[in-house]
Structure 1
């Protein structure tokens, strides 16, 4: 009998050890989509943002190491390793990864298509972009119809790209991987090279950036591009900002502590604000189910 008791105790101990090991391996570390890549900042700026994220996330109670920098959804869903415990990313990667949105920056992002349209005879070279709504109704309609047959370029895994694609504002949108020190200029350079007088082109970006864009200094295949009108077409849908998304194995208590830290931010340092992609009106909220559904619908997830 003592032998049987010892054997059973050993089995129980082994089972407990396996269970603990399985829990430990359920997830590890975190993933970070560095907004500096989207902005086209230099590599050292991206490195500073990663340091800020590591320091901040170490205060959440979630595993702060290792932190992996990612660029697309596949980096989470097809990593071939233990899943991340959390991801600080935009809504495209967060929702498509299957992670749970814990807290998001409710600051609205307004995407837009910057369309390189028709040549305007006698126009000032490299004139600034104009809002679609500033043009006559008939011209607005013609531009929208023409762009639905035209090629655009958007950043891979960008919310702007996803919303523009979901709304069908371009005939097709080619994904362009985010690169350090390139940013939006890489998109506009590709669009400028693709443009022809009979074949327009465009990019998908944030509306405020589109309104401040010109073609000055960019080379296209045709010199006439510098007399083409730039038109900004806002999307109907908007997006929330970056947010914290968590793996299903993360406990409610851990999530609650992390959410409280984000919602307690009132005056973050400039480096932290940059790392978290916060604008002047940022506000972290724990999204309710109906808001999550709206977030999904905006990027084409039904």
Structure 2
């Protein structure tokens, strides 16, 4: 319960400080740091030993976060930033991240736009492609077919290592191209191939190793999806916070029962139901990705028409765009 806000809160802060062309790499570094912790968890043997290490390490990290976490540019008091840097950080971002009171207008904005629905659906579905790693399917398979305890601990680390590499490479590429959707296609295709290789149980052991390591590509979607949502909601800071939190919430809602039904330990080492579900999940991810891509571009075209109309009528295109995209409160302020 205490850590529930940390993941989405950090993505929110990243979206407050970095522009779309910078955001993917930063999101990738954040998510990859979590994967790095998973990568080394295999060396923590024994439940008591692991509990002690995990418990003690949170204390200095909590203190570090209290001292270092920068808040948002408009309110930051970070000691490592000069006043000039604070002003620059705020000016370079087009979004107003100053504190605003909550109102029913916020609920209206969120519920009457497509962003909350589409982004929540996207991560609720695509997040389940991580089932290969989050449920340690490779470790259960290795254990069931007779590998040693040490091998079961260390061999699945390759899944996480490939996930880190995929996350950083894909996020860097998306920052360069500004297109997030290809990463989700890559992830879906990789997981589909992996699931088919495992589903065909007579395939060689080496091919199954390849399949499980290839499935590490599923981790690349997390950083990209949250960077995409930050980019989509960049014009409304309050909506952005709710959308990011909702994405994580709905993924957890699904994940609360998903592995129990589709990846129970009793299905090891084949996980036939799970592999079929993975193929279906990847297909659904492609559909959700297309939906977000389509409605985002439809919104862009609508804004573009408003801007061109404003310029043709001698008005300010930026003002028209702001009136269309921002809240009604901002519209009233603009009129005033």
Q: TM-score range by the shorter chain?
A: under 0.3
Compare the two structures and name the one with the higher strand fraction. Answer: 1
Compare the two structures and name the one with the higher helix fraction. Answer: 2
Question: Which of structures 1 and 2 has the bigger CA Rg?
Answer: 1
- TM-score normalised according to structure 1 size: 0.23
- TM-score normalised according to structure 2 size: 0.21
